[in-house]
Amino acid sequence: MVIRNYFIALLGFFACVANAEAAATDQPQVTFGGFGSLGVSHSTMGSGDYVLDGGIPKGPGLSNSLSTTNDSRIAGHMAAQMSPKVSVVMQIDAEYHSGNSYEPEVEFANVKYVFAPDVYTRVGRVPLPTFLQSENRDIGYTYAWIHPPVEVYRQEQLTHTDGVEADYRLQTGAVGHSIRALYGRALIATNDPAVLTTLSSKHLWGIFDTAEYGPTTIHAGYQERDTNSGYILTGLADTWVKDSDLSFGAQYDPGNWFAVSEWIQRKSTYKTSAMYVSAGYRVKKFTPYLTYAASSQGSFLPGFPPPSPDGIRLAARAQSTASLGVRWDFRRDTDFKFQLDQVKLSNNSNGFLANVPANVSLYGSKFYVVSAVVDFIF
């Protein structure tokens, strides 16, 4: 709450400064915009809720036959160029989250200082670029899918960190690199009944490289942090656990079609990994695509206290999804998407379903999720 108030105050401050600057130079450099998605989904699995990540308390399935919680949101964006070297960005998102509401939250709020054309730093709430589409995972308009593949993207739920970031762009021959290092901390509200209401991360650091060669993009990242998840995973209070993510992605997009794949290995008290492959073809205003995503069951690492029953349950979660969908760019700055997912839960877990009653076992179940969304930018 304190952090939220701080950011709201910061927004007000930046808006005032930006306006003052605008009035003084009569060349205002302030832009406003936003994006949103209106989505609805249905799941044939009635014994649990199909949710994209642990921060969404309910979804289609057990709680509702039709649900808007996974793919509906609206966000506002403000950017102000204070001087050639200093700019400010603020993004506020309203989406369904752990408070069982669409209460707006600050997604990004940072000040950027450009040292040299290809070197800059940002301070404040900055994006955490774990995946190719991490920073824009809420902006449905920027990709073909209804949402990024669940098995992979839910491995790293954090989308931002409060801290400092350094960026360096480097051109070596025909290959352009964008290298980013960051340090900070994060708080994340969670909704799994076993999980603490707030998962706290500190000493978060990461290094990321995005290399582009013509239509090919390669993304690699490593990050680690200390989290208070030890209580959930081991049952021992005040146990901090080091989490780490190693992630790779490759994308080929020559224009009229695309292929993309990503992989992540995540370690806490257990090690797990997830991957997806996806390809689509653009025919005029339509982009049909296919995706296959899978996550593996976690294996416990040595050197930690024995896992708690919740730790065992969380580590066991694994599932795979085959998806077929289409994006239709039916009007300017607006798209419509339809997607059918076939989800298969592993043989010894309820996968990533939420709110499954304690005495219900859905091991090995197969079900379908149908989703439709309209994405827009303004």
Partner 1 sequence: MINLKLPEIIRNYLALPLFLAMVATGAHAEVVVIVSANSHVTSLTAEQTARIFLGKTTSFPDGGQALPIDQIEGNAIRDEFYTKVVHKSATQLSAYWAKVIFTGDGRPPVELESNVAVRRAVAKDRNTIGYIDKRYVNRSVRVILEP
- Which stretch, 4-12, 94-102, 168-176, 344-352, contacts partner 1 (CB under 8 A)? 168-176
Binding test (CB under 8 A) with partner 1, winner from 171, 216, 347, 361? 171
Binding test (CB under 8 A) with partner 1, winner from 10, 106, 139, 354? 139
Can residue 271 be called a binding residue for partner 1 (CB under 8 A)? no
Which residue lies nearer to partner 1 by CB, 194 or 377? 377
Contacts 24+ apart (CB under 8 A), 75-78: 75/34, 75/35, 75/36, 75/107, 75/138, 75/139, 76/32, 76/33, 76/34, 77/31, 77/32, 77/33, 77/34, 77/35, 78/11, 78/14, 78/15, 78/18, 78/30, 78/31, 78/32
Residue 93 has φ and ψ, to the nearest 5°, of -115, 140
Binding test (CB under 8 A) with partner 1, winner from 1, 5, 117, 238? 117
Total site size for partner 1, rule CB under 8 A: 46
Least CB distance from residue 201 to partner 1, whole Å? 21
- Which stretch, 4-12, 85-93, 227-235, 304-312, contacts partner 1 (CB under 8 A)? 85-93
Least CB distance from residue 140 to partner 1, whole Å? 10
Binding test (CB under 8 A) with partner 1, winner from 6, 13, 32, 368? 32
- Which stretch, 227-235, 297-305, 329-337, 340-348, contacts partner 1 (CB under 8 A)? 329-337
From residue 342, give the alpha-carbon distance in Å to each of 66, 92, 152, 264, 325.
17, 33, 16, 22, 12
Can residue 22 be called a binding residue for partner 1 (CB under 8 A)? yes
Can residue 15 be called a binding residue for partner 1 (CB under 8 A)? no
Can residue 153 be called a binding residue for partner 1 (CB under 8 A)? no
Binding test (CB under 8 A) with partner 1, winner from 142, 198, 216, 361? 142
* CA 281 to mean position of chain CA atoms: 24
Binding test (CB under 8 A) with partner 1, winner from 38, 79, 164, 250? 79
Least CB distance from residue 294 to partner 1, whole Å? 26
Can residue 91 be called a binding residue for partner 1 (CB under 8 A)? yes
Can residue 169 be called a binding residue for partner 1 (CB under 8 A)? yes
Q: Are the beta carbons of 318 and 349 closer than 8 angstroms?
A: yes
Which residue lies nearer to partner 1 by CB, 30 or 164? 30
Binding test (CB under 8 A) with partner 1, winner from 64, 102, 118, 200? 118
Structure tokens given for 221:
């990242």
Can residue 279 be called a binding residue for partner 1 (CB under 8 A)? no
Question: Please, which of residues 288-327 interact with partner 1 by CB under 8 A?
Answer: none
Can residue 37 be called a binding residue for partner 1 (CB under 8 A)? no
Structure tokens given for 265:
């290995």
Report the alpha-carbon distance of residue 21 to residue 111 in Å, rounded: 15
Can residue 89 be called a binding residue for partner 1 (CB under 8 A)? yes
**Strand 299-300 versus strand 286-295 pairing type:** unpaired
Question: Please, which of residues 214-233 interact with partner 1 by CB under 8 A?
Answer: 214-215
Q: Which residues bind partner 1 (CB under 8 A)?
A: 22, 27-33, 35, 75, 77, 79, 81, 87, 89, 91, 108, 110, 112, 117-118, 122, 127, 135-136, 139, 141-143, 169, 171, 174, 176, 178, 212, 214-215, 254-255, 282, 285, 329, 332-333, 377-378
